[in-house]
Structure 1
Amino acid sequence: MIIFLNVSYLVGGENEIDFDTLNISAKQIKNNEKTFIMPGAISSRDEIGSQTQSIDSIVRSISGSYTNTDQSQGTVQVNIRGMTGLGRVNTMIDGVTQTFFGTSADNGKFHTGEGTLGNSSFGAPIDKNFLVSVDVEKGSFHSGSSGLMGSANFKTIGVDDIVRDGNTFGFLGRFGYGTNKVGPNYMGSVAAKTELNNGYNVGALFGYAGKKLKQNYKTGGGDNIEDKKILNETFDPAMPESDWNKKYIDVSPFNPKELTQKPNSYIFKFELNSNDDIKSILSYRKYDNELAGRKINHDTYQFDLNYNPISELINLDFLIAYNKGTQKYNKNATIFSRSDITNGLSAKNKALTIDISNELKFDFMNNIFLTLKPGVNYIDNKYTNSIDYENTPGAYATPFQPKGKQKIKTLYLDTNFEYDILSIATNFSLTNWELSGFKPECDVNTNCFPKAATDIKKSDTNFNYSTILSAQLHDLFSPFITYSKTTRAPNIQEMFFGSNYGNSVNPFLKPEVAKTWQIGFNSFKHGLLSDNDSFGFKVLYYKTKVDDYIYNKSFYTTDKFTLHLNSANTVTLKGVEAELSYDMGSFFVNASYSHEKSDAPTNETYGGDMFGYGKIAKLPEDYATINVGTRLFNEKLTLGAIIKYTGKAKRIHPNDYDLGREPTDDPNDLFASRKEQDLPNIPTIYDLYATYKYSDNFNLKFEVQNVFDKDYVDALNAFSTQGNQEQYDSNWNELYIFSNKARGRTFLASFEYRY
């Protein structure tokens, strides 16, 4: 049977975008298949919680999307087309922008050529077990939720994900364990719903999840990550052993004992819906972890309301959310090798989000459709810490989380015009942003202005827009072209970054502006080669030019300081992305491929001589993921393989100071930008898995990751550029160490039970 279906796609919480009427077979469309229906660079992944693959691997399987990994953070750090962080990527959970900024403690040994400094980066604190799907939008935006390069929205489980149709009670439980210091990993959630006599129905959900993940794993070939030592060629046996004179140097990328994760997560939802027009959800999430010298607590309170009576002019959405993230540092923790500031040290982030919108639909002559969605979004974001700067000597010269406030107010309008096979979707937003914080007095920078300590407040208003023109010429050829202009204001961490008093504060930073062209086409068809198969394909080319790109650079007068600057040159990013899916029941394949070139400058703080604000973000030249398998015995048994290819990848050269200095007669020469250094070739990694569906309620899964036990350094990992990755021989020639190896062969077993 053939039906006509108008597809609505959830992208940001409860926000819907309607697309052209599609002629498809009467078969339920999976969330992954919407990747090939929606025009533009939009991709989805579902069933995240049920997968044995890490959240990083799942996001990396999306074309143009990657993650920065950092064992000291415990968060998801989404990277889109080589950019990451607040504002560059709008990372959301249930439609709410995540603003958490984590700073790990260091081990205080890096001055002796060993040990590691702490890392700092933005990330979303969430347990994968609570996730249902992720939607990634690149190079365009909707409903005001623009990031400079795009957005990623993670959706959490709801009552209907646990309680099956016709039931009033449901249970979902998962448990997994693995070799090589993985596990246990577990989750239990219960939910119930019932219909009331007054036409309303209520539902409630409670879930708890936890895991244990150790980092003293074995790398490919069987070596232990914490037992990485090299012979010290400058060792003098005639001298007593000390931190500066020892026979062996520890070049382990981190101390595994400080990076063992044991997070605990909770989720609660209460839903009240009418049969006709009202849907509401009150939710609470909690994430607790102790990692890298501090306790992490993150609480989220959220309320969603949709009012949709029988009217084409009313479809009202309301969202309000409050996030609170706290990091409390242990007494024995050190920050930049200083233990005197960590006694009672804490850092907090509080963010309030409000969003209101209404969708109006118009039908002209039964063949012209117009949808309008005006709305307003408000974010109030604040960072604080407990350091007593006035009474702590040198505190203003210690890189740590800066204090500051950020307010973003956005008016937006989404429109969608449809006529026959043509569709034009436009998105406009007018954003007013305001930053405020404190600038200490200038010390060594003779060009620093203003010289005196002062409060800084900066604001501006920017207009953004995005347009997608598409035509459904054929099921196998639906071309589209998009153009967008997006703006990112400087964030608190850039404007008020402190590495040397007021010398490191630049109150004259301008917003980044990106203009992006994209052209490509979609293919989607049920019944391509057989009656029951499905085929999807998307390919596109993009080119982005970024003006006033924000980066940081080190200067030297009588002391070294780091300053965030706007690049005088336009940054260009361009690439090709493709995704493929084919499923005929007994056989399936899903694949993605990405290729990008970028000339973005390298940040000084990506290096190992101070807190890395995100580390290197440049994507590998190209990367791909292929998931191929077969279903046997009436599709109860699934056998599959996941193949991960990574092209040439880089790290920031671990040399702290003089590498790449350009010759000059100026004694106050600035340090040249940090050079990049190729990582050793990353081999293609193979994972094998088997899933057995014993019944509708119970299934088992076995997986072997890194089957061939390859020894390699993973791309975009924060610990690849630590200072101890550079050593010297007896002639003081530089030796480059690549000891930050990924996990070797790992066996995993898990089960999932539903009731």
Structure 2
Amino acid sequence: MGAVPPFGRAAAGVAPMPGSQCPLPGVAPRPVRERHCARPVIRTAVRRLGPVSFYVLTNQGIARRRLSALGLVLAAGTALAAGTVPHHARAADAAAPADEIQLAAGRAPIELDPVTVLGTRTEKTASEVPASIGVVGQEEIKIRQADDLGDLVDDMPGVEMSGGPRRTAMQPVIRGLTGERVVLRVDGARQNFESGHRGRIFIDPSLLERVEVRRGPASSLYGSGAIGGVMEVDTLSPGRFLEDGEPWGGEVGVSWESNGDGFGAHAIGATRLGANAEALVGITGFDADDLENGSGETIPYTADEVRSGLAKLVFRPAEGHELTASYLQFHDDHIIPSAANTNTNSIIVDRKTDQKTMTLGWRFDGNGNPWFDLDAKVYRTETALEERRTDTGRFDETDLATTGIDIANTSRFQFGGFGSHAVTYGVEAYRDEQDGKRNGDARPQYPDAQQDIFGLFIQDEIVFFERLTFTPGVRYDRFDREADGLDSKSDDAVSPSISVAYAVTPWLKAYASYAEAFRAPSLTELYATGEHFPGNNFVANPDLRPETAKNKEIGLTLSEADVLTSGDRLTGRVAAFRNDVEDFIEMQVRFDSWPGTTTRSNVQDARLEGVEFELAYDAPLWFATFGAARIRGDDRTEGDPLGGLPGDKVSLGGGLKFMGGDVVTGWRMVAHDRQDRIANGETVTPGYAVHDAWISFQPSDGGLRGARFDLAVDNVFDKTYRQALSELDDPGRTVKLTAAYRF
């Protein structure tokens, strides 16, 4: 499950059997095996599934056929797994050498303890980072057949997506904080777009290689906005499709979804350009009608017509150096309410959403020189929305361009008896330029404005006695804003942090941290004027102060191999935090006079407290995951519960790997408790539990080598439910099928 860091590749440490064939990258070697002994087990498993199918028939009607078909697939897979074990057991009884009875670990959606740079800007395994990190790898992305980022993080503790099932209205929520209180980055490029009732990040998950989430304030490394946390999204790289020695490779695939009768396709090609360069080009498309909830009712205006493209070039001019250039584009064309993240359908628009992200990066690993580990990036993100009202023809344009540079270097050295040091230091600077028009004229609700932010940061990871790590850090940011016809505004912020981590044992680590963070007011919050709605006008407030946060966190991490059997691994994390946020910026709508006014003000101090727990286990033949989160928030100004928080969450998952890892099947459950601890004006959200099941088949040899088939059923029991952070129901049962071929 995406909640437990981390996901994607198979467990290491399982040697191939003699005579096994070389598999695809990321797929464990699979020995040739007999399968005839599994046939009676299949019949037994199917008979046992009979009562399950009958139960579904009596309670869900026509759903019986779909679930029975899935049951047959899962039964056959389970039987094959069970049937092959006695075969190996008999081989063992025949006194075959132990190293010839190895069971391949295969692929699985659990990348346990992966290397991440998001936590400290230096490469560390997730268990070594003194912060809460969640990772979703490529295998998990493929298995979930995700339509949006929400499908990838819905079971991650402390992480939600608000805005409902309309993909261009979604925004990530980390530990109860959303909007510009979360830093979003794609290939290292900031995604700063924010406009009322609209989403912030627009991307097709089929072009993603990895999603990482750092939960908790992180302004000492990532600057303005990292009050709730940071979400980093990485796109596909050419090397993923190029096997050793092969000059080219790629993948083509088609997909179908039952809910909304959605159809998608993708084509990705990669090639080597000489000995030191690689290139990739990928295109994707997805069309769907309106979705239905679990009761069969249409969720209005959820139809989509999405097109995306990715181009990437990687060049290694010298030893240790790597240059990367990438271009990512997203386009969505649909009919949708102007306030797309609500259930209000009073104003309907024909919206075109375009987002382009361009990056140029340079990595230098030092080539043996410990003073250099450089990561530099120049980027530009352009987001453009065009909306034409279907009733009056009014035409709005909403544009934001972010141009930036991000440079970080790590120098490693020993300093006498004061431990080993890894000092990371750098600079980040970016400019946001926004422009709003209505029927070709200036639109004061989204005024022409710009802001410049410049930041310097430094962090020192100091290791004493190989077990104690002390990490102080600090960042200074200055921000200048201006808008046409309005007062300019300048401010600055200092964001310190400190953490202490101790290796209690080789497999158990404890940590404690303190971090301060801030969010500079957005250009719209500062400068919006004009009509909000009939009888109410926006009033600019250029005197807004930055929001600030002070977070305390303690936690334990564990990572251990060969726990129950050779080749397995167990990872886990438990964290408790308290985040005090001051000068919350809220939109206040008043009717003290006529017309009424809408303005943003610093009105609130808040406290968010919570506990997160995650555990994952991967063995050669099976895997299991567990996650849980509990968040409480209080408005310390008024003494009321803080709004916009999800209910308590628990997630469970597990599955089997068999046929040498060619077949992986699993189940996942995400449950939210009833959310009745709400702010004034909010609606109580009933509790719910949603179950998903899936099976993936990727032959590693034979005539189908290179093919891949993924079948999933989301919301198996067709539950009608609404997330606490949405005004719309989520989709009902959805059967998903993807067939792809890698060449």
Q: Counterpart of 1:465?
A: 496
Give the Å deviation of 1:643.
0.3
AA partner of residue 668 (structure 2): I
In structure 1, list runs of 5 or more residues that go unmatched: 20-33, 103-118, 227-253, 439-453, 604-615, 653-672, 721-739
Aligned ranges 1:33-48 → 2 under 5 Å: 34-47=125-138, 48=140
AA partner of residue 11 (structure 1): V
Q: Counterpart of 2:352?
A: 295
Structure 2 residue 192 is the aligned partner of structure 1 residue 99? yes
Give the Å deviation of 1:628.
0.9
Give the Å deviation of 1:180.
1.8
Give the Å deviation of 1:476.
3.9
Structure 2 residue 372 is the aligned partner of structure 1 residue 314? yes
Residues 497 and 18 of structure 1: CA distance in aligned 2, closer, same or farther (over 3 Å) = same
SS at match of 1:470: strand
Deviation per CA, 1:70-89: give whole Å up to 9, x if none: 45552652111111112x10
Residues 426 and 161 of structure 1: CA distance in aligned 2, closer, same or farther (over 3 Å) = farther
Give the length in aligned residue pairs. 600
Structure 2 residue 263 is the aligned partner of structure 1 residue 220? no
Distance 1:537 1:511 in 2: 35
Q: Counterpart of 2:254?
A: 175
Q: Counterpart of 1:433?
A: 479
Distance 1:208 1:325 in 2: 19
Deviation per CA, 1:353-380: give whole Å up to 9, x if none: 1112222110346993101122110110
Q: Counterpart of 2:122?
A: 17
Q: Counterpart of 1:375?
A: 426
Distance 1:225 1:62 in 2: 28
Aligned ranges 1:612-631 → 2 under 5 Å: 618-631=644-657
Identify the match of residue 282 of structure 2 among 202, 207, 217.
207
SS at match of 1:426: strand
Distance 1:548 1:44 in 2: 31
Structure 2 residue 174 is the aligned partner of structure 1 residue 77? no
Identify the match of residue 561 of structure 1 among 585, 588, 597.
597
Residues 685 and 497 of structure 1: CA distance in aligned 2, closer, same or farther (over 3 Å) = same
TM-score (normalised: structure 1): 0.75
SS at match of 1:585: coil
Identify the match of residue 150 of structure 1 among 229, 252, 263.
229
Give the Å deviation of 1:18.
4.3
Aligned ranges 1:567-582 → 2 under 5 Å: 567=603, 569-582=604-617
Structure 2 residue 213 is the aligned partner of structure 1 residue 136? yes
Comparing 144-153 with 527-536, which one deviates more in the overlay? 144-153
SS at match of 1:143: helix
Structure 2 residue 403 is the aligned partner of structure 1 residue 352? yes
Distance 2:494 2:179 in 1: 21
Residues 632 and 322 of structure 1: CA distance in aligned 2, closer, same or farther (over 3 Å) = same
Residues 165 and 153 of structure 1: CA distance in aligned 2, closer, same or farther (over 3 Å) = same
Q: Counterpart of 2:324?
A: 281
Residues 433 and 41 of structure 1: CA distance in aligned 2, closer, same or farther (over 3 Å) = same
Give the Å deviation of 1:66.
1.1
8 Å CA contact 1:506–1:564 kept in 2: the answer is: yes
Distance 1:8 1:56 in 2: 21
Deviation per CA, 1:264-312: give whole Å up to 9, x if none: 1111111110351210011111111112312122222210012334312
Residues 511 and 708 of structure 1: CA distance in aligned 2, closer, same or farther (over 3 Å) = same
AA partner of residue 218 (structure 1): E
Distance 1:156 1:489 in 2: 28
Distance 1:409 1:474 in 2: 41
Distance 1:10 1:35 in 2: 6
Structure 2 residue 700 is the aligned partner of structure 1 residue 685? no
Deviation per CA, 1:318-365: give whole Å up to 9, x if none: 2111111222223x446xxxx36x24x322111101112222110346
Deviation per CA, 1:35-79: give whole Å up to 9, x if none: 434232122111154132442032122211111134555265211
Distance 1:209 1:317 in 2: 29
Distance 1:368 1:596 in 2: 37
Distance 1:73 1:461 in 2: 35
8 Å CA contact 2:373–2:409 kept in 1: the answer is: yes
Residues 181 and 641 of structure 1: CA distance in aligned 2, closer, same or farther (over 3 Å) = same
Deviation per CA, 1:511-539: give whole Å up to 9, x if none: 11100000010010011111111000100
Identify the match of residue 386 of structure 2 among 324, 328, 334.
328
8 Å CA contact 1:488–1:511 kept in 2: the answer is: yes
Comparing 517-526 with 176-185, which one deviates more in the overlay? 176-185
8 Å CA contact 1:269–1:284 kept in 2: the answer is: yes
Aligned ranges 1:497-512 → 2 under 5 Å: 497-498=528-529, 499=531, 504-512=539-547
Deviation per CA, 1:173-195: give whole Å up to 9, x if none: 33210212142122211111254
AA partner of residue 265 (structure 1): S
Q: Counterpart of 1:646?
A: 672
Distance 1:621 1:542 in 2: 17
> Identity, % of aligned pairs?
20
Aligned CA-pair RMSD:
2.8
SS at match of 2:563: coil
Distance 1:388 1:705 in 2: 42
Structure 2 residue 567 is the aligned partner of structure 1 residue 492? no
Aligned ranges 1:653-664 → 2 under 5 Å: none
Give the Å deviation of 1:150.
1.1
8 Å CA contact 1:75–1:125 kept in 2: the answer is: no
Query: Per residue, is there more helix in 1 or in 2?
Result: 2
Residues 634 and 262 of structure 1: CA distance in aligned 2, closer, same or farther (over 3 Å) = same
Runs of 4+ in 1 over 6 A off after TM superposition: none
AA partner of residue 471 (structure 2): A
Aligned ranges 1:518-597 → 2 under 5 Å: 518-556=553-591, 557-567=593-603, 569-597=604-632
Q: Counterpart of 1:637?
A: 663
TM-score (normalised: structure 2): 0.76
Residues 599 and 471 of structure 1: CA distance in aligned 2, closer, same or farther (over 3 Å) = same
Residues 380 and 676 of structure 1: CA distance in aligned 2, closer, same or farther (over 3 Å) = same
Distance 2:155 2:455 in 1: 32
Q: Counterpart of 2:551?
A: 516
Q: Counterpart of 2:47?
A: none
Distance 1:503 1:8 in 2: 47
8 Å CA contact 2:605–2:636 kept in 1: the answer is: no
SS at match of 1:120: coil
Residues 635 and 502 of structure 1: CA distance in aligned 2, closer, same or farther (over 3 Å) = closer
Residues 487 and 401 of structure 1: CA distance in aligned 2, closer, same or farther (over 3 Å) = same
8 Å CA contact 1:46–1:132 kept in 2: the answer is: yes
